[in-house]
A and B are shown apart, each in its own frame.
Chain A
Amino acid sequence: MATLNVLILVCLGYVVLLFGVAFAADRLAATGRSTWLRTPFVYTLSLSIYCTAWTFYGAVGYAARSGLEFVTIYLGPTLIMISWWWGLRKLVRVGRSQRVTSIADLISSRYGKSNILAICVTILAVLGVTPYIALQLQSITLSFSIFAEADPSGIYHEGTSVFWVAAGLAVFAILFGTRNLDANERHHGVVTAIAIEAVVKLIALLAVGIFVVWGIAGGVGPIMERIDASEIGRWNVHRGRWAAITFLSAAAFVCLPRMFQVMVVENDDERHLRTAAWAFPLYLLLMSLFVVPIAVVGLDLMPEGSNPDLFVLTIPLALGNDWLAMLSFIGGFSSATSMVIVAAMALSTMVSNHIVMPIWLSAQGRRASMSGDVRDIVLLSRRISIAVIMALGIVYFRLSGGGAALAAIGLIAFAGIAQILPALVGGLFWRGATRTGALIGLTVGFGLWIYTLLLPGMGGALMPASVLENGPLGLGWLRPQALFGIEGIDPMVHSVMWSLSLNAAAFCIASLVSFPSPLERLQGAQFVNVFDHSAGPRGWTGSVAQSEDLMIMTQRILGAAEAHVFFQAEAERQGGRGYLPEPTPAFLESLERELSGSVGAATAHAMIGQIVGGSSVSVEDLLAVADESAQLLEYSGQLETKSAELARTARKLREANEKLTQISMQKDAFLSQVSHELRTPMTSIRAFSEIMRDTEGLTAQERTRYAAIIHDEALRLTRLLDDLLDLSVLENGQVNLNMGDGNLQDVLDRAVSTAMAGSDRPLRVRRNRASERIPLHTDLDRLGQVFINLIANAQKYCDAPDPVLTISVHDVGGQAVVDFIDNGSGVPPEAQSMVFEKFARVGSDKAGGAGLGLAICREIMQRLNGEVSYLAGQGGGAFRISLPLAYKQAAQ
């Protein structure tokens, strides 16, 4: 019988061996002879930390309790490895090109180097992984206790053993995980030790399996019969649970901090993934090969009530095969230790980088960056973090009572870690994903996970039974295991469904609604298009290449012509040959100023920094960002211009429409009036011509009179048509002025005599001939026409018994002014503004005019650069003509 002392000795020996291996590997790596350490198989074996003590011991227990459901734990990673290796390859490529140190760093980096996101992911990871670490401690303790039961010396104490195991693991993790600060965060020693542990645990499990199948059951045939006879062999497939757990294990495989550590951070060559894609599923297959036989035999062989989680250990012990039991114990020990070491390392990196260091740096202020002891601080904070994480594991182990089934704890942790998935996958494949989206999605998913799975799973300590039964405050639809009244689902499936779907939905919606910062856009492009540009180191060969790239970028932002002018000017200032300036600090500064005017200071700085700094951002990415910004700017500019244009056009249209309506109304009114004016004389003409035609026995006197009426009306028609034509020509501006030199007196003389001859009404005209001797340069005939019109108006409309028209001439301010004032009653004030409109006839007097005379006068005076206006308050009808003097006109 193996004693506890022997066991402890073997354990210590094994640990010393691991230390030796790790130390040797680190030494080899340091001297650059580590190539054989970095084979695809070592990489694949390091991935096997997925198989923890949970898998080593727990899978058998799982199978004994729930039949074949345990397969799902292997199925998820297998599916990921086989069908999604290209996604993993992208993850690895991004991780390497961005030099990320952890999954928190990756998420933070993708979303604009947001530290708050990093903190979120870190806290999530610590909360999710702590139960997992507790689980490992539990399994080691349990396996110890199995041996302790058989040991009569009784030196074993559970509490102290947990502490010593945790302390030992912490020391290992601290020694090899935080020996130094490597820029790439690679730990050759640890990885090599893990690979050896992977081999050990596989051999141990296979050995137990072979022992069970061939040593106990008696071969393949009999064991198959036993399996068929047992409950486990039946496929009790609970479809929802199967899908949920397969999905969870797949998600956890990608998101678990320790998996990320070995798969991405420790990856040396992404081609290793190609090997791992088939080798790792094979490893999983071997690990699961004997699970069912061991479980079946264990259930048969072991007494009722013995813990099936420990069949791997208890079966060899019960059959007295101490060395096999020892090997099995070492296998389980390997599973637990490798997981705890890597998890503690990964978590400590996250905690120290994203929580401790930012706090320390801000507490130190500016001194920190100067002092040079940052390295020590980082290492110290990592070491302390490892210790704290281990302590947390112990606390959780104590809190949960150490009794819960291993698999249940493992699944709770998986579900928590899986909340990172939407932000991770979205960040890799969707450029539209934003920091806000990731933050909100994570918070929602994480909150729901705590509420629906973690707290109910911890027992009555943290969540009272009443809340579980009736919901918080009696709100039934908020019951943690039946949200929104959806009952009857497995609590696990229920929690995963709600937390992940709402997480993803919140992530998508918030991403669509929020607007990414320039850095986020840049990082988004970097991540999503990682394969387009990260094949090798960037080839910035010499400064001219840089200048060219800067030129290309500037063109995208400022436009080709402006960029060219700017670069040329800068090149000349440098005393330059060619048109490309050297990228001197002065030039870069002025370029940045120039660009920030277009894209904002931050973006400009980032863009130039990325090109000149030779960082791994590709020009294409920068240009994509530049294009986007430029398009946005241009688009919004266009929109503004367009809306202003539209407003202008609308106003113009409205005005044009109003004008058209007005013109149309004026036209209708004019036509109606013309019609009236034409029809009136035609009526008389027709009536009298019919009378003359149809009436017999008209007297000669009547005949003469009627013929005279017809004649007069015909003349009236002619006059009207003449006036209309005249007005039309004047209004259209088609009139040809016949400019000539003359004298005002002569023009008045002719006008008075013409007007008097055309009418037999009595009118005396008073003039002061001396004042009329004014030379004119104008169209004398047109001016005469205006005078005749005004004199004729006085003849027609002056209602005084003894009508007198006074014509007076003045020289007012360089203008010749001629006033025509009669002694009648004049134009009534309300009609004075209308007299120059077409067909505006005032009063009842039908004097035979069509009402176009004054309208014509106004048009003529406008053509002659003069004016005709009505003079109010002169006692009678009073019109004033003003027109430029001859010398003035000549001077012009």
Chain B
Amino acid sequence: MSRKVLLIEDEPNITEAIRFLLTREGWHVETHAEGSDAFELIMASRPDLLILDVMLPGKSGMDILRELREQEDTRKLPVLMLTARGQLRDREMAEKAGVSRFMTKPFSNTEVVTAVRDLHAQASKA
């Protein structure tokens, strides 16, 4: 069974880069560029791992994360959050909202790949 990652990111070039990296890692990568309907999509798509941008059109990644953590099914879903706003406050907010890993753009490719591997390993163990 192939592993599925859902990437919600409104910057097409970044989406393409991450898709390239994770596909090579053996992931099935689904993408979406809109915040407003992201939650419904996640619930429908049931990914093994979620990569979430913070500043999204329609709805903030932070709000989406909070909603996910309120749901029984997605409480333990590994979420890797990416943001271009490199402020400490954003990290604190994300951790409070229940993020699994928080990374600031620009990231190194290895960093992203390793994070995805780690998160998946932890989730499988549990």
Binding site for B on A (CB under 8 A): 672, 675-677, 679-680, 682-688, 690-691, 694-695, 709, 712-713, 843-844, 846
Contact = CB atoms under 8 A, between A and B. Distances in A.
Contacts of B85: 672, 675-676, 679
A687 B10 contact: no
B17 A687 contact: yes
Contacts, number: 69
Given A672-B87, A846-B11, A684 B109 contact: no
Contacts of A679: 84-86, 104-106
Nearest to A705: B16
Given A672-B85, A687-B106, A846 B55 contact: no
A680 B84 contact: yes
Contact of B17 (A672, A684, A843): A684
Q: Which of B16, B17, B18 has the most CB of A within 10 A?
A: B17
B13 interface: yes
A682 B17 contact: no
B14 interface: yes
Contacts of A695: 24
B71 interface: no
A680 B14 CA distance: 8
A683 B84 contact: yes
Interface string B85-116: 11100000000000000001111111000000
5 contacts: A675-B84, A680-B105, A683-B107, A690-B108, A713-B13
Interface residues of B, number: 27
Contacts of A677: 84
Nearest to B10: A846
A709 B109 CA distance: 16
Interface string B1-41: 00000000011111011101100100000000110000000
Contact of B105 (A683, A691, A709, A713): A683
A687 B58 contact: no
Contacts of A712: 13
A688 B84 contact: no
A874 B57 CA distance: 26
Contacts of A672: 85, 87
A690 B109 contact: yes
Contacts of B18: 687
B84 A687 contact: no
Given A676-B55, A682-B105, A709 B84 contact: no
Contacts of B12: 846
B106 A682 contact: yes
B17 A688 contact: yes
Give the 5 A-B CB pairs with smallest separation, nearest first.
A844-B57, A687-B17, A679-B84, A684-B13, A683-B106
Contacts of A686: 106-108
A677 B21 CA distance: 23
Nearest to B90: A672
A691 B109 contact: yes
B87 A684 contact: no
Contacts of B55: 676
Contacts of A694: 109
A36 to B, nearest CB: 108
A690 B108 CA distance: 8
A263 B113 CA distance: 117
Given A672-B87, A676-B55, A687 B11 contact: no
B63 to A, nearest CB: 16
A173 B20 CA distance: 135
Contacts of A690: 108-110
Nearest to B86: A675
A755 B46 CA distance: 45
A691 B21 contact: yes
B124 to A, nearest CB: 26
Contact of A680 (B11, B16, B21, B33): B11
Nearest to A845: B57
Contacts of B33: 844
Contacts of B20: 691
A718 B108 CA distance: 22
Given A672-B85, A690-B109, A683 B10 contact: no
Nearest to B82: A683
A844 B58 contact: yes
Nearest to B24: A695
Nearest to A712: B13
Nearest to B56: A844
B57 A843 contact: yes
Nearest to A687: B17
A690 B58 CA distance: 31
Contact of B84 (A676, A691, A846): A676
A714 B17 CA distance: 16
B86 A684 contact: no
Nearest to B109: A690
Contact of A684 (B14, B21, B57): B14
Nearest to B17: A687
A683 B14 contact: yes
A709 B16 contact: yes
Nearest to B108: A690
A683 B11 CA distance: 10
B32 to A, nearest CB: 12
Contacts of B14: 680, 683-684, 687
Contacts of A709: 13, 16
A716 B55 CA distance: 19
Contacts of A691: 17, 20-21, 109
Nearest to B55: A676
A398 B57 CA distance: 116
Nearest to B53: A680
B24 to A, nearest CB: 8
A687 B103 CA distance: 14
A675 B106 CA distance: 11
A676 B10 CA distance: 13
Nearest to A668: B87
A690 B10 CA distance: 21
A335 B86 CA distance: 111
A685 B84 CA distance: 14
A775 to B, nearest CB: 44
Given A680-B11, A695-B24, 6 more contacts: A680-B14, A680-B84, A683-B11, A684-B11, A686-B107, A691-B109
Nearest to A682: B106
A109 to B, nearest CB: 81
Nearest to A681: B13
A304 B85 CA distance: 121
Nearest to B36: A844
Nearest to B21: A691
